[in-house]
Structure 1
């Protein structure tokens, strides 16, 4: 077309052809005038192209003393693959990155000020966020200073706090435990107002008293909610009225007599009537602005029991969990997570029709170790929303009574327990802070003592443990390097006290159920990364081989397993979306699985063991609450029951 005598032609293929040729020239190093040194890798490119896409590089090129020479730009903190992805994007307008690299691409895009790419990567991460990744995504967004992502992640956490609180990342966050005394006529304010007061109290302790946040987290902090609705230090009030805590089991939050607030050695406290009388921890004068404060933010909270709250907040830039318990009487002590009991439909039911629930454990426990020893059920360790536990409880079915035995040497959760040569063995797990464990210990029931055993070769939690042929086997699990699912299998000889490698699993697994049956070891379900598995493997110690057998009907991780009458019963667990009630049984003769009667409540990461003629399921997490309840399965009736009558006739 020739309007007004001028030739006008649009070649739609030229742009694509030119872009493709320029990218080919880049990859072959032709006509390149930029060398990017990225962690020892050299990437060639063209200055004009990168200057158009990256304002950061434009500023560098624009300031070059010799603009016509070859520019050298060094990055010692970026991923070379991520930078290569950005170079491809600059030449082709196509962003292609494996999901494992998206965070690295985001980081590189932020450094190069490529805002569009950063936004696209952020949107992708938000679309993939689930309860197990919310905390890590938030930590990443905080490091990147991305307020848009943080606000969206915080909204997600507010809507899914209970699910998030059951994940490993949440479990490893630092935690501040508060005990708030109330006058009889007072009650705690609503969540938002309550935690605004808590944040103000922590700020006063840090900025006015010179405390350090990690020191505040070392023990339970006792506070007092006054009649004029202020949250005050409880130490002086306790001292004035002589209120002393009653020593309870160490895993309980308990009221203790606190020392008065520590004075900073470089600071003198000024009278409170002064306008700005308290000096900062750095010793600045009262008229000097306070030092730069990092982020303080209330994110989400949940009332977990009658007067107990769980909160996720940012304190002085640190993402923390806050546990708060309010009580009216200093003599009372917060109980373990209460069990939700079924109420009777009619209060006027006759006594002979009343059913008495099985006695609950003293502590709610998830990710606990469970076994039967000398006709009793042992429940060790585990965690709740507060912390990992050392305590060990023993259940006598004849008395329907839980009692304490000697506590473990190390607080641990996400582990399994096995009986070997008349003793209990526990290996690995997590300590509730930041570490997977390599240590193990064994319990001697005759002396009621725990002793250390040879450590694992690698730190592991969520591994399966069982005894086979007078050896202790540890299978799968996850490690500190972030591998969610290992193939490792190790055997411990209690006589030589040494570990030896066995053949690896066919499939990487963590949170699998493991047990021995008829001279074979079975590894059931679990997860590879976060994808729940229904596959099952059987280990033959005679030829050191693993064989895949019939898969379960339901994919599940965090399930429990017990042996009964030559068959495997797999109980509960988590299917990736919900905690499970369902149960299925494996017949090794037919190599088949079939469903059985479901539990009375859903349980993931519960303890499961055979006791007499019944199967017991204890503790776990139902999707909302950590449990301390016990229920039993009767194979004769194919029913689960939480009533004492169901157990008394079977043991």
Structure 2
């Protein structure tokens, strides 16, 4: 009996617990149900349809708008909800709150009907005949969407015939987007537009701004000079040289005379008498004559008319035949995502050279000249995109290939490398002000096939090879102390890799090593933080890139071409890396399997 009672008590206790659990679950489900929210995707359109039905049926109208002696009925609450103008009128304590009929000034009847159609239907029909008055009404009523639609419509009508009127509208209603589109139209069509009567009717302040822009699309600065004259003279007068330059037109201030062709400057200088323009032309001639010093003679008037940045590749070696070098130059259009030939004169036929950009001049440093028996060179060259030509600069004091080249504080550093007799630890730097190389503190060890980058006023060198041994060391150069120091080594031995600085970090990518007893691709990507002196592993490369071209554009790393030892050939593939998201993507392929040096400019 006692056992039975004990069992009964246990059963009752268990049932109570089960009921408690059920109640708890029930309460939880109730809470979830109470808090659930539903949203209708059709409600907004249904509400508009209902309001339109009231309008069509003339139901519940409570205000009449009077314009130009005509009237139109509407719903006061809908008008107040649609724009600040009516909200202030009907909910801001004004006398119109109590008026059945309200006078609207400064807006045409037709424009108000257009606006009301938009308020009730969210649709706006525009034509070239009514867009002006609709725009004026939308600006007065402060209806942003209607202003945007009017602006979109006007943009579709931009051409040489109506550009003057559209500029006036953009200025009158403060339409910056329309103004920017008009500027872009003139920039793109400047050569033809500058020969029209409309060009000469633009305000001189606007023309000055257009001619001063980096976005002006011209084949040469000569065309900007002609355009400045065409504002004051007819095309016939400019072509027959019937212009007076003793009192220089103000628009000539926008011309970047150092970028004009030398022969044109010489003819112009000969024609000019003593005047301010003659001094300007003389300075431009001095810039041309002092070619070696051009990188340090930069000013706003020597800057290329372009805001287009791209990745550029020079030289390199094809996969087959093995000894064939290329003198081609190519650039990657990041918008079109395709490689295009750069119409530059032949680049030096080199491989394993260093590359750098200083003041938007490209420098090729040393490298191997296979035509001469696969030997390292001392020679260096500079490419000027302003005049599209190569110029030899002072040779290095030592022949170098498989070197690292870095730019720091206006100097170009050529670090270590090798010739075909020995490896180097010497470091020399180039001063563009003197066109001379000088030695600075050497590395602690000979090394070649390493990589380097500058960050926060210092140069960092990683990995490389000493003899047949692959390294994972990292060195840091401080120019103030003229001293190299060892910092934290990377986790992976490698050589013939790429290295860049981006977003205050250093990245080493690609390369090869022989950790498995044979030469293989290194896919590991490492990031170095100089503030903590620590390396960390990032997402690995999708494919091998040894001897790659590497560049940074808009905080994105481009890894291009090179050699894949796993595949046994040079490669044509390109990969891009986003450091902020640690993501790799395939980029536009090169046309050939090639190992080539790249930079961004």
TM range (shorter): 0.3 to 0.5
| Higher helix residue share | 2
Q: Higher Cα Rg: structure 1 or 2?
A: 2
**Higher RCO (C-alpha 8 Å, min separation 6):** 1
